[in-house]
Structure 1
Amino acid sequence: MSDDLAPALLTINGAIAEVSLNRPKSLNAINVEMAIALRDIFAQLGQNTEVRAVILRGEGRVFMAGGDLNYFRQASDKAAAADALIGPIHEAVSLLASLPQIVIACLHGAVAGAGMSLAMAADLAVAEQGTVFNMAYAKVGNSPDCSGSWSLPRIVGVRRALEIALLSDDLSAEQAMNLGLINRHVDKGQHEIEAKKLAERIAGNSPVAMANIKKLMRQSHSYSLEQQLKSEADAFASTASGEDFSEAVEAFFERRKPVFSGR
């Protein structure tokens, strides 16, 4: 792929969509054009009832090296430049988190700065051996964006999150696995295969159930026990009245694999 093409690409194959960061010559660093492209892609996916799983990946040698520092270097008004970039990329992250589909980050090479934040915003993550993670913001004299400060403490705890963000040390894929930053650590060159396997498994489940599970898990940190119990009851009752639940119950007693319609 070339940096001359669209900065982010969407391909759909049946129930699985693939979103590719496509600035390989710039190590997929986020610029305004990529931020807008991602925002528009996630908005489009949010309206697509046929897609059941999304793979987020990077073209070239890395997943993403962070924000485009050259963009800021050339800006005469860096605060205005920051607003122009952060506005659409934060919209994109919010849309990603609220997608009814499950999003799987497929990681390789460098996963740094905004790239690490974006990877953590996904629902699941797969990384190949040799992948290097780094929050990196402290290295450029700034603080996290793209929901990094929201995701990291929820995944690893506040004390460990502070260490990772303040020191900006490299983390190996093995360390990321131990910290819970990724779900799968696979051999070199196997990350895309593993991500597709996960996507296929998820796409074979009831999309209504998958969406409800995602929503319940994501809101749980902000809800009281009573609020969460109410949300669980509402979600369960709503899903129980649908065709997918009836199909799953019948398939269980008939000892066959259910076929979900998404209704």
Structure 2
Amino acid sequence: MNSILLKIENKIATISLNRPKVFNSFNREMALSLQRILDDCETNDDIRAIVLIGNGKAFCAGQDLKEVTDPELNPGFKKILDEHYNPIILKIRNIKKPIIGAINGVAAGAGANIALACDVVVAHEKVSFIQAFSLIGLIPDSAGTFFLPRLIGFQKALALAMLGDKISANEAEKMGMIYKSVPAEDFEETINQLAFKLANMPTLALGKIKEAYNKSMTNTLEDQLALESKLQIEAASSNDYAEGVAAFIEKRKPNFNGN
């Protein structure tokens, strides 16, 4: 059974974590497969938006602990971080296409932080997020110490990391951890609508927005203003900008092609 599934339809790539019997926890094969598929999505011009979701009852329960406790299979934490999770986070952030984190079930440990690295995170109301690391004597990884305090504030993030509290999707939305919590019965339709909308927007500009927000994490104000100027000039020379302005003047719906 493939640990990662890929479906491409209507310019949307749906990537499904597919180890449902272990709540989509990561082993080495799954981590490397996800990286390959993210690379393929980046270079495929037919793909203009990406959805990352889990099969079964969970989004992702983090690391498969059976792998790290097996003396023959255990790759060691250095390899797990350097070769598995860190490249996944960097690929999610650096792909110049919008990525929706469709959180269909529990997101724990590295699974929670992979979810939070996505561009637009939507969860149904029965989902929970858990920084589970401290509960087994570890620290948050997969950029959890980077994104979480920036999303919800230093004090709240530190407390969640230390206490390992379970946070509902509704709580996560209220504290700014995710974009939206929706009723379970509306989840699939909400994800489909969001993905379709993003795939038909000026995706070249969306990629530049993503780049600007990424660099705002570490840039000075002066650096960020210079970057905005550079990216805006590039966006203004695109076919999508010309189409957007023409559609506005002509009072019609724009037909963006992503370049």
Code of the aligned partner of 2:117: A
Structure 2 partner of 1:199: 195
Relative distance call for 1:234 and 1:113 in structure 2 (3 A) is: same
Percent of residue pairs identical: 34
Q: Determine if the alignment matches structure 1 residue 33 to structure 2 residue 29.
A: yes
**Structure 2 unaligned blocks of 5 or more:** none
- Measure the CA separation in 1 of the matches of 2:203 and 2:104: 28
Matched, 1:161 2:166: no
Which of these residues, 108, 132, 143, is aligned with residue 112 of structure 1?
Answer: 108
Deviations 1:38-75 (A, max 9, x none): 11111111112221111100001111111101111213
For residues 50 and 12 of structure 2, the distance between their equivalents in structure 1, rounded to whole angstroms, comes to 6
The correspondence for 1:186, drawn from 178, 182, 188, is 182
Alpha-carbon contact 1:107-1:191 (below 8 Å) kept: no
Q: CA deviation at 1:76?
A: 6.1
Residue from 79, 84, 99 that aligns with 1:84: 79
Confirm or deny: 8 A CA contact 2:10 2:196 kept in the other structure. Answer: no
Alignment correspondent of 1:11: 7
Aligned equivalents of 2:212 and 2:91: distance in 1?
16
Aligned-residue CA RMSD (Å): 1.4
State yes or no: 1:249 paired with 2:245.
Answer: yes
Offset of residue 176 of structure 1: 0.5
Question: 1:104 touches 1:124 (CA, 8 Å); kept in 2?
Answer: yes
With over 3 angstroms needed to count, the CA separation of the structure-2 counterparts of 1:178 and 1:219, relative to structure 1, is same
SS at match of 1:20: strand
Question: Which structure 1 residue ranges, 5 or more long, are not aligned?
Answer: none
Task: Select 1:127's aligned residue among 115, 123, 127.
Answer: 123
In structure 2, how many angstroms separate the alpha carbons of the residues matched to 1:9 and 1:182?
24
- Secondary structure, counterpart of 1:189 in structure 2: helix
- How much has 1:226 moved relative to structure 2? 1.0
Distance 1:103 1:260 in 2: 18
Deviation of 1:102 (Å): 0.6
Which range is displaced more, 81-90 or 57-66?
A: 81-90
Return the alpha-carbon distance in structure 1 between the equivalents of residues 92 and 54 of structure 2.
16
Contact 1:32 1:84 (C-alpha < 8 Å) held by counterparts: no
Which sits farther off after the overlay, 80-89 or 43-52? Answer: 80-89
TM-score (norm 1): 0.94
Equivalents in 2 of 1:83, 1:40: separation in Å? 20
Q: Which letter maps to 1:44?
A: D
Could you tell me which residue of structure 1 aligns to residue 45 of structure 2? 49
Q: How many residues align?
A: 258
Partners of 1:66 and 1:111 within 8 A in 2: yes
Equivalent AA in structure 2 for residue 150 of structure 1:
F
Three-state SS of the structure 2 residue aligned to 1:190 is: helix
**In structure 2, distance between residues paired with 1:53 and 1:235:** 20
Aligned to 2:67: 71
Question: How far off is 1:109 after superposition?
Answer: 2.3
Q: Give the conservation status (yes or no) of the 8 Å contact 1:135–1:164.
A: yes
- Determine the C-alpha separation between the residues in 2 that align with 1:249 and 1:66: 45
Q: Is the 8 A contact 2:48 2:258 kept in 1?
A: no
Match of 1:147 in 2: 143
- The structural deviation recorded for 1:77 is 8.9
The CA distance in 2 between the partners of 1:190 and 1:111, in whole Å, is 19
Report the AA paired with residue 218 of structure 1. Answer: N
